[in-house]
Structure 1
């Protein structure tokens, strides 16, 4: 009986403590029109780059310290900025096909921040769950925040998301047709 009373007292103290504890968490929506996500993929004979649009996103802060966030990318907006005309259209169509991101079946990709560690005044080591083509993997990257802006650079191994086209990890004798497994995403965000 005494143990039950002690547990009840602890529970009562916990309820009062949490009821009157001020939580300073603030969710800041990303201004999609003022934010950019640039991709760059590499192959044996060079590289290609372009943009992809965010569909939605937010960062969460507690006492002005980053604590979380979530981003959804519109995979239908993949464009290349280093080609023009027929070759531009062909590459964009191929990137949207099942050989790469299969955007008809998977129209969005998502990043959910699960862990944040401050590494400096405005810099963080961020860990999150990245979902591409319905496959989720943990990814870690650096993110910096200055005022109402944030930027991050991510290196992504596409083969972890079943994007195998042209990968020497899966195909032999590709020679100069080989495409490297890792690609870069650079995000400049405004909130």
Structure 2
């Protein structure tokens, strides 16, 4: 009897996990857009070791978190307003932050850099190019694996005399739109608990110094 009750709770838990995955709100994407040209008064150069995109990817049960560092990038301002910018992310800096075992961590990173996911050898960089800014909403072309999609995300910008921090709200993309289809339920059947959620959570954090 106890075993049956446990099985029922297991099924319910899995069901709630699936429902939770399906209910995640994906950030709307559109075709890549042209940059809106705006007069620039100042430039801030990204500090690579303090600038990154943070990611979270989930399976039916469990998941992983990590970072990808900026290799270079520039934010531009007019007055005290952010008006543009372009940031390059080094896929080979990809790190996992939730696995303490060094061997398991290294195996995951190796798999993520393979053709199943980011295909780092062919596509060593990702990027985010700001196309327009309206209030706190920043629109930009996000590029992964050579595929560009325009997204809009709220950001918080703090500027001091010679420093700037840009932090986006957490947003969610559908990885399959960027040709990352490994163990996606859209493209394979009977994956069971090996199925990986298509939606990936991202958050961009940039620290830059006035050039």
TM range (shorter): 0.7 to 0.9
Q: Could you tell me which residue of structure 1 aligns to residue 207 of structure 2?
A: 190
Q: Which runs of 5+ in 1 are unaligned?
A: 1-22, 119-123
Q: Could you tell me which residue of structure 2 aligns to residue 172 of structure 1?
A: 189
From 80, 85, 97, the counterpart of 1:69: 85
Matched position secondary structure for 1:171 = coil
Shift of 1:33: 2.2
Deviations 1:43-78 (A, max 9, x none): 111110111111111211111111111110000111
After superposition, where does 1:4-153 map in structure 2 within 5 Å? 23=39, 25-83=41-99, 84-118=101-135, 124-147=136-159, 148-152=164-168, 153=170
Q: Which runs of 5+ in 2 are unaligned?
A: 1-38
Shift of 1:85: 2.3
| Mapped partners of 2:205, 2:140: distance in 1 | 18
TM-score by structure 1 length?
Answer: 0.81
After superposition, where does 1:149-164 map in structure 2 within 5 Å? 149-152=165-168, 153-164=170-181
Shift of 1:38: 1.7
| Mapped partners of 1:24, 1:74: distance in 2 | 26
Matched position secondary structure for 1:76 = helix
Structure with the larger RCO, 1 or 2 (CA within 8 Å, 6+ apart): 2
* Largest Rg, 1 or 2: 1
Higher strand share: 1
| Mapped partners of 1:54, 1:111: distance in 2 | 10
Aligned residues: 164
The runs of at least 4 aligned residues of structure 1 exceeding 3 Å deviation read none
| Mapped partners of 1:35, 1:72: distance in 2 | 10
Shift of 1:34: 2.5
